[in-house]
Amino acid sequence: MVVPQWANTQVLWYRKSLAEKAGLDMTQPVTWKQIIEAADQNDGTVGVQANKYEGYVVWLNALVTGAGGDLVSDTEQGRDAKVDVDSDAGRAAAEVIQQLADSGAAQNDLSVSNEGTSLGRLLEGPSTEDNGSFMVNWTFVYKNMEDGEANGTLVKGAMKDLGWARYPATVEGEESRPPIGGIQVGVGAYSDHKEMAQEAALCVTNPDAQEALAVEAGLFPSRGSVYEAEALKEAYPEDLLALFRESVDSAGPRPQSAFYSQISGALQSVWHPPTSVSPDTTPKESASFLSDVLDGRRLL
């Protein structure tokens, strides 16, 4: 038995002052190209997760699915899954990564960046040296920043400059597919105390527990009804709650495969570091390597 405890998603967080300076209308969908150019031309940055770890594959998958493709498909075939990354969608994803890596908008720790380091640049806020940033990151960001302002680690009033919008589009005119993650609580078939474990799993994932996680830790519900809870409406702006729910509903999940660890590891091996990515070579090389790994011809 598996029970979802929370359903995480990513949105685009940004400094309103930077978007205004760049002349971007953030009430309309924006593309990766637009925000990279806006940051590059206005002394800002674009925060992503691009270390050699799962967070990088989260970004890659969102870029590829946002361009209408898949990393792999037919995953029910196990090792015989169809490798799809060498495609127009894969090349569109590579173009975004290459554009950021080659631009002045790339944060100086791009190849080792993660959720915390990219958040750090947003927390700095606008200054004379750095006009702030755009950043893709999970739902916990709002609570993190709110707590930071409350305890004095953030300048008072910093939250007023924080904006949020739908995850950027890979291709102009195409709807983005935000990442989705979260946690499921499982009970093993061979548990010594299966009934008690099932009761515990249901307890920690019930609506009240999901509500508390969202309010206290910024980890959002897997149950749609919990988004209507008064405690959430008091803790978060109405449009942010709507954005989180919309992003979960329209997300692009990662491949559901028993061999996902091999899929992720093989893609990381070829697509990292982001400064090496090329639309002409990276999708093709990664497809070849991943196919070999799944077939048992090469090792990670």
Given a contact cutoff of 8 angstroms between Cβ atoms, the answer to whether 224 and 247 are in contact is no
pLDDT digits (tens, 9 = 90+) for 253-264: 999 999 999 999
DSSP string, 253-295: PPP--TTHHHHHHHHHHHH-SGGG--TTTHHHHHHHHHHHHHH
Give the pLDDT confidence score for residue 12 in this predicted structure.
Answer: 98
Q: Kindly tell me if the per-residue pLDDT of 179 is higher than 70.
A: yes
Cα→Cα distances 59→11, 65, 140, Å: 12, 10, 17
Amino acid at 61: N
Give the pLDDT confidence score for residue 130 in this predicted structure.
Answer: 56
Provide the token pair at 212: 């508390």
- Tokens 């109405």 belong to 238
- What is the mean pLDDT of the segment spanning 265-287? 98
Lowest pLDDT segment from 46-55, 156-165, 285-294: 156-165
Strand 2-15 relative to strand 180-186: parallel, antiparallel, unpaired?
antiparallel
Give the pLDDT confidence score for residue 127 in this predicted structure.
Answer: 52
Give the pLDDT confidence score for residue 128 in this predicted structure.
Answer: 42
Helical H segments across 104-180, by residue range: 115-124, 140-151
HSE at residue 68, side-chain half, CA atoms within 13 A, is 6
d(CA 271, CA 286): 7
Q: What is the dihedral of CA 127, 130, 133, 139, to 10 degrees?
A: -50
Integer-rounded Cα radius of gyration of the chain: 20
Given a contact cutoff of 8 angstroms between Cβ atoms, the answer to whether 78 and 259 are in contact is yes
d(CA 120, CA 80): 41
pLDDT digits (tens, 9 = 90+) for 132-154: 799 999 999 999 999 888 888 78
Q: Identify the three-state secondary structure at position 8.
A: strand
What mean pLDDT value characterizes the chain?
Answer: 94
pLDDT-based confidence at residue 120 (cuts at 50, 70, 90) = confident
pLDDT digits (tens, 9 = 90+) for 193-251: 999 999 999 999 999 999 999 999 999 999 999 999 999 999 999 999 999 999 999 99
pLDDT digits (tens, 9 = 90+) for 47-72: 999 999 999 999 999 999 999 999 99
Q: What angle do CA 45, 47, 48 make, to 5 degrees?
A: 145
Q: How many other CB atoms sit within 10 Å of the CB of residue 2? A: 10
- What is the mean pLDDT of the segment spanning 67-84? 97
Q: Kindly tell me if the per-residue pLDDT of 156 is higher than 80.
A: no
